[in-house]
Amino acid sequence: MVLVSSRFLLASLVMMPFFIAPVRQANAKQFRQASILGFILFIGFITQTVGLMTTTATKSAFITGTFIIFTPIFQTILERRIPSKANIAAIASAIIGVLFLAGNGSSLSGFFSEIGRNITFGDFLTLICAISYALYIVYIDLISESMDYKFLTFWQIFVTAVLSLLSIPVMHLSGIEPARFTPSPLVIGAILYTALFATTLTTAVQTKFQRAVSPTRASLIFSMEMVFAAVFAFLILSERISLFGYIGSGLIISGVLISELFSKD
């Protein structure tokens, strides 16, 4: 959580000089909506981060990928927008792809055995993360058109930073995670990269442009994260991708293409 709070606090400080004017112009309703969005984002980050301490990377990847299932459910409930048949077909393809890519093993039976073995509290937290991220995608679609994207981008990151800072002593006192920070070039580089690119840039782009697509299609595009992660793991960490991994990547890409080419929403 020290890493998470450092990331979002630095992102807030970098954005403040450029986004302070829209913040001053926002009204009480906009502050309330943006704060709710920031809280949802915080829940997603804290549950996934703490969950990773007691679950495997394979199970975390699979469980997090289930946000593809929850997004159209929230879209139907909150926006009264039922996904199209093309979206449903795309979701099915992407879900199967996530299963294959997360398993990345030699057999489906071995993968399901791994998923079902030793279910931990971390698995439960990661499921909350997936639900939170799905809700985040739908809620940002609901409120993004009613306010300046610069204000919404900055305020949700600022709220996440504050809540992350407050969570550090809570984690420490509860014994879940000791508060510690050991600076090194790798740690500093990670904070700078995640703050400037993986937080400031990506959140601004998503907040501004997601209004152009439905939440369900957005979730399908976000499922490509697993494909890119596998590619970078291969290029940077020399991790091997099994045949199942390639099949999963293809199914996720197929799902995105089906949504983009055949869906009208």
Give the tens place of pLDDT for each residue, 47-88: 988 888 887 666 777 788 888 889 999 999 998 888 888 888
Look-up of token digits 């509290």: 121
Q: What is the pLDDT of residue 15?
A: 93
| Rounded CA separation 70/133 (Å) | 9
Q: What is the pLDDT of residue 64?
A: 84
Q: What is the pLDDT of residue 105?
A: 55
Q: Which long-range contacts (CB under 8 A, 24 or more apart) does 225-233 make?
A: 226/61, 226/65, 226/98, 226/101, 226/102, 226/252, 227/101, 227/252, 227/253, 230/101, 230/104
- More reliable by pLDDT, 255 or 37: 37
State the CB neighbour count (10 A cutoff) for residue 21.
Answer: 11
- More reliable by pLDDT, 177 or 125: 125
Q: What is the pLDDT of residue 245?
A: 76
DSSP state at residue 201: I
39 is written with which tokens? Answer: 């809280």
How far from chain centre, in Å, is Cα 96?
19
Question: pLDDT band at residue 102, thresholds of 50, 70 and 90?
Answer: low
230 is written with which tokens? Answer: 């596998």
Provide the sign of the torsion angle of the four alpha carbons 233, 238, 239, 242, taken in this order. positive
Q: What is the average per-residue pLDDT within 168-173?
A: 82
Q: What is the pLDDT of residue 117?
A: 58
12, 158 contact by CB (below 8 A): yes
In the predicted structure, residue 109 carries a pLDDT above the cut 70: no
Going from the C-alpha of 8 to that of each of 110, 153, 158, 168, 191, the distances in angstroms are 38, 12, 7, 13, 9
Which of 102-116, 117-131, 140-154, 217-231 is predicted least confidently? 102-116
State the CB neighbour count (10 A cutoff) for residue 32.
Answer: 12
Q: What is the pLDDT of residue 116?
A: 56
75, 81 contact by CB (below 8 A): yes
DSSP state at residue 197: I
Q: What is the average per-residue pLDDT within 188-211?
A: 93
| Rounded CA separation 221/224 (Å) | 6
Q: What percent of the chain is modeled with pLDDT above 90?
A: 40
| Rounded CA separation 187/182 (Å) | 8
| Rounded CA separation 265/255 (Å) | 15
